[in-house]
Each structure stands twice: as C-alpha cells, then as structure tokens.
Amino acid sequence: MNTHFVNKRVAHLLGYAGLIPFVLLMLGCWVAHPDWLGDFIRGQLAYGIAILSFLGGIHWGAVMVSPDLTMEQTRKGLVWSISPALIAWSSTLMGGFGFAVLMLGFIAAYQADKRLSVWYGMPDWFVPLRLKLTCIVIAALMLSVIAANVRG
C-alpha cells in the first residue's frame, strides 16, 4: 500500500478527530445549563491553547528534518515554531479578549503553514487540510464566545 496515501488518510482522520472537543465544547456552551457555561468556556480556551501550541511543533520538527533549508529559513522556521505557544499563553492574560487572541493565533498559524510548508516540502494536501481545520476551529471558538455573551 502507498504509505503517502496512508499518511494522508491518517492525518485527515486525526485532524478531524482533533476538532471533536472544539465542537462538543461549543455545543455545551449552547445547550448546557447556564451554571456550567463558565466550565465549557474555560475548557474551550484550554483546548484551544493546547492545540495552537501543538501547531508550532510542526515547524520545529520540519526544520529539524529539512536538510536543504538556508540558515535564514532555519532561523525563521524555528522562531515561528515557538510563536504559537507564546500567542496561546498570552491569550490567558487578555481577560475577555483571550478568545480573540486565540482566534488570531490560529489564523496566523494557518498563514505561516501556508508560506513555510513549501520550504519543508509538505504534501500538497497539507495546506487545504489546515485551512478546513482552521475554519472549523475559528467557527467553534466564535460560536462559544457568542454563546457566552447570549447565555451568560
């Protein structure tokens, strides 16, 4: 069997499975008793922080295994690789704007993936997958914030 096909299928499956907590927490914000709303919001923020931090690791690993990068590309890739974690952490300091910071971080991570994945020789399905996942994450975060403001 073609391992590239298997890797693509597994990456898609795991990528979409990673959306389950975003969607379930967003639904919880809308349907759970209002007394539980804060727990769902904190859970959504915590999961978003974890996933955004994870996205930086893609670049750390890619830089480590990409032998043809220039020194400048290596530096940029490594600097970006720690940026999502710093953005994610900073969302905890922003009070009511934490979700906005997180959403901007996901958008920035997608933009960086789109630009830098060419350097790493990522497969052609990687960027479209990241776009789909990012759109769903942003929608789930936005709907959670709306629920908190409507129901809270």
DSSP per position, 22-54: HHHHHHHHHHS-GGGHHHHHHHHHHHHHHHHHH
Q: Is the pLDDT of residue 44 over 90?
A: yes
Judge contact between 52 and 22, C-beta under 8 A. Answer: no
Domain ranges in the chain?
Answer: 3-151
pLDDT tens, residue by residue, 129-145: 999 999 999 999 999 99
Closest CA to 89 of 49, 56, 138: 49
What is the rounded distance in angstroms from the CA atom of residue 89 to the CA atom of residue 116? 23
pLDDT at 62 (0 to 100): 94
Q: How confident is the model at residue 6 (pLDDT cuts 50, 70, 90)?
A: low
pLDDT at 61 (0 to 100): 95
Q: Is the pLDDT of residue 1 over 90?
A: no
Judge contact between 100 and 141, C-beta under 8 A. Answer: no
Judge contact between 152 and 36, C-beta under 8 A. Answer: no
pLDDT at 28 (0 to 100): 98
Q: Is the pLDDT of residue 5 over 80?
A: no
Judge contact between 133 and 114, C-beta under 8 A. Answer: no
What is the rounded distance in angstroms from the CA atom of residue 133 to the CA atom of residue 109? 11
The structure's pTM equals 0.94
Which residue would you say has higher pLDDT here, 8 or 152?
8
